Structure 1
Amino acid sequence: MQHLPIFPVLLPLLVAIILLRKREGADPVRRTISITATALLVAIAFWLVSQVADGETLVYRLGNWQAPYGIVLVADRLSAMMVLLTALLALGSVIHASGGEDNQGSNFHGLFHLQLMGINGAFLTGDLFNLFVFFEVLLLASYALLMHGGGKARVQSGLHYVVLNLAGSSLFLIALGVLYGSIGTLNMADMAERVSQLPADRQGLVRAGALLLLVVFGLKAAILPLYFWLPRAYSSAPAPIAALFAIMTKVGIYAIFRVFTLIFGEQAGGLAHLAQPWLWWGGLATLGMATLAVLSARDLRMQISYFMLISIGTLLCGLGMEGTASRGAMLFYMLHTTLINGGLFLLADMIADQRGKVGTRIVRSKKFKYATLLSALYMIGAVSSAGLPPLSGALAKAWLMSTATLSEGLWLWPLLLLSGLAGVVAASRAGSTIFWRHGNGDPAGERLSRGKLVGTVVLLSAAPLLVILAGPIGGYTQATAEQITDTVQYRSAVLGNVTSDTSGASVDAD
């Protein structure tokens, strides 16, 4: 039990080492190891969620060094939920990749698990420097996976992706240096303790470091105007990687949520709620621009990338709103959009296999096999992504809108409803063109890969399942929002029995 928080990091690391050493092994062997390990990761993630569901926070101290001096992994409701979401997304992606996509380049499965290790580590770490380390691990793996299989489009988009993320990493290091020099620690719980007691003459430098972090996390999350890299990179990436990348922007959103609630939350005095206005207006701007952009997409993969940007804008608005109810709705929406957009990327790859040279361009093509099955799957994904009843998108958006105050609703409701309308128009145009407008002749297309179909269905099945299980899942996300707002509990678990005095400054009850 005490070692449970390190399993989601250790398992993919060990599997990555095994798969990278056995590059010459038979494809069925690598695929079996990879799928089995990912399924085991799903089981571990469910176990982790069950252990923290009652509100307990699990702390794992590597080398038994006490915080803030040692490396700590912290599992609470939020981090456990994100690990489970990553594992489910990875399972659908790796099953789909084993249908043939993994053969287009070398070391696919080893790099895939190395990226899982970095993502899970980012969700579980309790230290900002180790957050940087795990960011670099997942980014190094993503650089290679983005260009898996080669091609001019992938190399060009990969280059832009690498350059922007290297710039972001440099800013991240500068921000860490500023914060460490000003506060004297990078352990997030200890930083929260010290920021609440920081003298006024040192708050300016800490504010600068915090806003630098917001820029870095905003780049990862793809907030306007830092989102221009995403559509090109995601639309040109191999389908299983694009699906897995659906969680990458959520790493940035998670980092914003964690850092600016725990360290710069209500207890931070003059530094409280630094990010709130930036997130609200940046989220609205991202939502508005993505709504216009999705109507202009001429390729199915590009359209799905803009669907993802719409969801990012919606998530950022949820973070920028007041109250824990909006945060709970935002987390429920995060579960929905990550799985559905990942499934749509996998589905687009299956459609491209059937259409030959036309690929995913939204133009007329020859008739192709399995059009009925693929169109039904596309309708489920598109309806859910646009937010139409009775699937999970409608439920998530309705919950989020219901939590808005009057002033927030004046901005959020029109934009969110217009984004849904734009999604319906864009998906209707794409679906009618791809599945109905055909030339004469016998149906063409490759035989449908069973692995690709199973991986796609695994992710798209979230649309009805989230509605069926809305009660317990919604209760969990609401409890998660309440737990992360209660920063005393997190600090007590990591540092000891911490309480708050009447002035709002934290004290050690020991």
Structure 2
Amino acid sequence: MQHLSIFPILIPLLFGAIMLLPPISRDLNSQRICSIIGTLFLLISSAVLLYQISSDGVQVYALGGWQPPFGIALVADRVSSLLVLLTSFLAFSVMLYAIAGKDKGGAYFHPLFMFQIMGINGAFLTGDIFNLFVFFEILLIASYALLIHAGGKQKTQAAMHYVILNLIGSSLFLFGLGILYGTLGTLNMADMAIKVGQLENGTATLAKTGALLLLVVFGLKAAMLPMHFWLPRTYASASAPVAALFAIMTKVGIYSIFRVYTVIFGEHAGELENIATPWLWPLALLTISIGSIGVLASPSIKTLSANLVIVSSGSLLACAAINTEAATSAALYYMVHSTLASAGLFLLADVIARQRGKAEDRIVRSRPFIQPRLLGFAFAISALALVGMPPLSGFVGKIMILQATQSSVQTMWVWPLILIGSLGALITFSRAGTTLFWRHNGSISTDAEPAKFTEILSIGLLLFASVVLVIFGGYVSEFTQLAADHLHNIQSSAYNLLPGVTQ
């Protein structure tokens, strides 16, 4: 079991490589079987890893036996193992949807899907900022190809903007890493956390420049205003499985902000203590605001889903700005909820689009559905979860965020924006629901396709997760609280990860 920490990276890597080899590479059905088996193995190993971390504590996996801070280290703690399990469950659910036919649009969908999962899991597990950059590039390269899967002018245009912005972000990432390595002499996160408090004067100023460059990069990945504008068009133009998988992409950027600016540049960092907080506060609140406006103006269900991702990013960034254990715990719970609920709505939007003919998923009058009760029930569950109404997990997550505010100033800014954003989502979902399911023109389209069994199963798993998060809400919130405690405790999150280092 000592190698369990590397399984979430090795499993998608091996299955992705196998699917590039003949004869599997030429047989779509064989690739589908490999993908389902691979994502199922990944889900099981991630669940076992989470259980082991809960029982035995943090695991540091030194590749090649080279101990940190000199070697490449993977760190599996409660935060990273939770997000790895989230990614694995999302991958398995989305793959069930893809094998129903959405994987036919282009070559190498399944290997690229696996490499994307490998990059995401690697970003969550790495204990080194340089390897965070490496895994960022792996997941981005795979996402470039997945985004234009099945082709089309709209997808190509969206992909160009996405690629150019992320290439700029990658360049800034390297500049930031170079500055931090030059000032600290290390890029191991635990080692950096110890050395950053020893910086003084000009060296500290230089390190602050590198740290703020990384904040720009992570903000771009997290769709933080003003770097959010790429997301609605990119996600709305992607195929349904890709858009659903992309629901976790912004969470990689947000996770990086929590990890870097809590562990490295937290309260122990001397002159660089909490350097991200003054920037995160206004940008998080503005991100919620612009996302809420986008929700109200959304012309289609896919665009609505994309704008809700921006709202959730703003809410999570507000938790990062509050920078307390309660806020981090709330963020982790809300991160799990918003990822799964948003992914479910992206998939549901695709089924809706197929049954409405030329109207697709636009919020306009159209032909009636083939499966109105099934889709109507799924849409209602999605709406309740994403608006944040009881009794589903969105309500619990938002209550946790609101309770995490400490001062009257925080309450004055966070509460109105969260509640107004929920009201905006409620208005838009109400308008969309009445238009889609109650206002019809003509008869059922002759080109309409009913949802297939694996598609229904996939959407059902993602939506049922919102119910599970409430039923086991006490256990989940207790786990996220322990995870937050570890992240904010420098003695456990940094010193104990380095052999031979004492306070």
**TM more than 0.5:** yes
- The residue aligned with 1:259 is 260
Correspondence list, 1:81-96, <5 A: 81-96=82-97
Query: Quick one: which amino acid aligns to residue 72 of structure 2?
Result: I
- The residue aligned with 1:125 is 126
- The residue aligned with 1:185 is 186
Change (3 A) 1:256 1:55: farther
- The residue aligned with 1:503 is none
- The residue aligned with 1:430 is 432
- The residue aligned with 1:456 is 459
- The residue aligned with 1:504 is none
Q: What secondary structure does 1:53 align onto?
A: helix
**Does the 8 Å CA contact 2:35/2:110 hold for their aligned counterparts?**
yes
CA offsets 1:272-309 (integer angstroms, 9 cap, x no match): 10111212221111001111111111111001111111
**Does the 8 Å CA contact 1:89/1:339 hold for their aligned counterparts?**
yes
Q: What secondary structure does 1:441 align onto?
A: coil
- The residue aligned with 2:410 is 408
TM-score (norm 1): 0.96
Offset at residue 442 of structure 1 (A): 4.5
Query: Quick one: which amino acid aligns to residue 306 of structure 1?
Result: N
Q: Percent identity?
A: 49
Query: Quick one: which amino acid aligns to residue 106 of structure 2?
Result: G
Query: Quick one: which amino acid aligns to residue 423 of structure 1?
Result: A
How far apart are the structure 2 equivalents of 1:435 and 1:105?
33
Match of 2:480 among 461, 477, 480: 477
**Does the 8 Å CA contact 1:61/1:70 hold for their aligned counterparts?**
yes
Q: Do residues 447 (structure 1) and 450 (structure 2) align?
A: yes
Equivalenced residue count is 500
Offset at residue 203 of structure 1 (A): 0.3
Query: Quick one: which amino acid aligns to residue 6 of structure 1?
Result: I
- The residue aligned with 1:330 is 331
Offset at residue 27 of structure 1 (A): 2.2
CA offsets 1:29-76 (integer angstroms, 9 cap, x no match): 211110111011111111111111147110111110111111010100
How far apart are the structure 2 equivalents of 1:442 and 1:58?
56
Query: Quick one: which amino acid aligns to residue 414 of structure 1?
Result: P
Change (3 A) 1:200 1:55: farther
- The residue aligned with 2:20 is 20
CA offsets 1:87-135 (integer angstroms, 9 cap, x no match): 0111111110001000111110000000111110111111111110000
CA offsets 1:293-349 (integer angstroms, 9 cap, x no match): 111111110011111111111111011114211111111111100000011001111
- The residue aligned with 1:343 is 344
**Does the 8 Å CA contact 1:355/1:365 hold for their aligned counterparts?**
yes
Offset at residue 447 of structure 1 (A): 2.8
Offset at residue 441 of structure 1 (A): 2.5
Query: Quick one: which amino acid aligns to residue 267 of structure 1?
Result: H
- The residue aligned with 1:70 is 71
- Gapped regions of structure 2 (runs ≥ 5): none
How far apart are the structure 2 equivalents of 1:492 and 1:413?
36
Q: What secondary structure does 1:104 align onto?
A: coil
How far apart are the structure 2 equivalents of 1:71 and 1:442?
58
Q: What secondary structure does 1:100 align onto?
A: helix
**Does the 8 Å CA contact 2:90/2:340 hold for their aligned counterparts?**
yes
Q: What secondary structure does 1:60 align onto?
A: strand
Correspondence list, 1:96-135, <5 A: 96-135=97-136
Q: What secondary structure does 2:75 align onto?
A: strand
- The residue aligned with 1:496 is 499
- The residue aligned with 1:212 is 213
- The residue aligned with 1:386 is 387
Correspondence list, 1:226-265, <5 A: 226-265=227-266
Change (3 A) 1:55 1:324: farther
Query: Quick one: which amino acid aligns to residue 484 of structure 1?
Result: L
Q: What secondary structure does 1:364 align onto?
A: coil
Offset at residue 474 of structure 1 (A): 0.6
**Does the 8 Å CA contact 1:354/1:368 hold for their aligned counterparts?**
yes
Query: Quick one: which amino acid aligns to residue 482 of structure 1?
Result: D
RMSD: 1.2
How far apart are the structure 1 equivalents of 2:39 and 2:193?
35
How far apart are the structure 2 equivalents of 1:498 and 1:432?
62
Offset at residue 356 of structure 1 (A): 2.0
How far apart are the structure 2 equivalents of 1:350 and 1:323?
41
How far apart are the structure 2 equivalents of 1:83 and 1:493?
22
- The residue aligned with 2:422 is 420
How far apart are the structure 2 equivalents of 1:334 and 1:288?
19
Offset at residue 487 of structure 1 (A): 1.8
Query: Quick one: which amino acid aligns to residue 179 of structure 2?
Result: V
**Does the 8 Å CA contact 1:299/1:360 hold for their aligned counterparts?**
yes
Offset at residue 493 of structure 1 (A): 3.3
- The residue aligned with 1:314 is 315
TM-score (norm 2): 0.97
Q: What secondary structure does 1:99 align onto?
A: helix
Q: What secondary structure does 2:104 align onto?
A: helix
- The residue aligned with 1:298 is 299
